[in-house]
Amino acid sequence: MKPYQQIAIQDCGEPLVNIPLEKFIVETPHAYQKLGAPYHFSSVDSPYYLRQGVLERLLAAQLQLENNYPNWKILIFDAYRPVEVQQFMVNYSYEQLLKKRGLTPDNLSAEQHQSILTEVDQFWAAPSLDPATPPPHSTGAALDITLVDHRGKILNMGSEIDQISPRSYPNYFEHSSDQIEKEYHQNRLILSQVMLSTGFQQHPNEWWHFSQGDQLWAWLTNQQNPEENAIAKYGRYSS
């Protein structure tokens, strides 16, 4: 169990609501749907949902971004993720790491298996059906995003979204003397500053992942402000 999963979580009564996609940038078809992720097994057949309060903060972040950088947009890579899709992507990521190392399930040692699981675990929450330990994306609290500038160009952040690598850590390029890597870090700072200023927290290992109200958010909030005693919440989809 990860430390943040010990935080209490409760139903806050907020609905999961559609993200107004015209206010943001999205790529279609969705990356996980292209891979065959089983959204059809869920009552919510789209990733573009968030808890009501999270959406309000995201809209505030987009407004602030445009105030600071006219005509820039937040690109939403992923948001709501049913547990079935979480399981699919955990399996997919594991298989991709196997291929990268030239391994197959038949020639895999127990140590290699555990090493790959540990890598995946740094970036993917366990696809738990336990209501006490839900994956952040499955609560309607989390989203994976990047930025698009006024020319319609996606900013280069130095690693791809979902890339399992230390390069994906938010501050990986912080002390680099390389000019291009300094630009990566500056791009990440623009993204994180606009999101943190509107009430989100950032995943410690993922420059693209932000959330508000889930267990990871509450844990990070309590680490920064011990007197806060924040608890986590989740929303519900109602057709």
- CA torsion through residues 93, 95, 97, 99, sign: negative
Edge-to-edge strands, sheet with 9-18: 49-51, 9-18, 232-236
Under 8 Å between Cβ of 217 and 232: yes
Q: How far apart are CA 236 and CA 11, in angstroms?
A: 8
Residue with tokens 């979902």: 162
Count of positions (residues) in the chain:
239
95 tagged catalytic: no
Neighbours of 6 (CB within 10 A): 11
In a 3-state reduction of DSSP, which class is residue 201? strand
Which position among 22, 27, 111, 206 bears the catalytic label?
Answer: 206
Catalytic site positions: 206
